[in-house]
Amino acid sequence: MPTECSAEKFEFGEAAGRAVVARFDGGAISSDAGALLLGAADRAIRLTERFAAC
């Protein structure tokens, strides 16, 4: 279920003289978490190991 959020950005103050801001207008983005999932799936089914054996 999608989360409803009315804030477009949060301001956290400053760090080392620079503003710290979190924005939510990035669209459909991802992080490296997909690589962790692929690594776990690869270990579970040993795909890379079986491919290397060919």
* CB contact set of 24 (below 8 Å; sequence gap of 6+): 5, 7, 8, 9
Give the predicted TM-score (pTM) of the model: 0.40
Residue 6 lies in a domain: no
Residue 25 lies in a domain: no
Structural contact between residues 24 and 8, judged by C-beta atoms closer than 8 angstroms: yes
Residue 49 lies in a domain: yes
Reading the block at residue 32, the tokens are 């490296």
Phi, psi for 8 (deg, rounded to 5): -90, -25
Spatial separation of the C-alpha atoms in residues 25 and 10, rounded to whole Å = 12
Domain containing 40: what range? 30-54
Residue 17 lies in a domain: no
Residue 40 lies in a domain: yes
Residue 50 lies in a domain: yes
Spatial separation of the C-alpha atoms in residues 6 and 53, rounded to whole Å = 53
Residue 4 lies in a domain: no
Instruction: State mean pLDDT over 3-13.
Output: 68
Give per-residue pLDDT as tens, 17-49.
Answer: 888 887 777 777 777 778 888 889 999 999 999
Residue 22 lies in a domain: no
Query: What total of structural domains would you count in the chain?
Result: 1
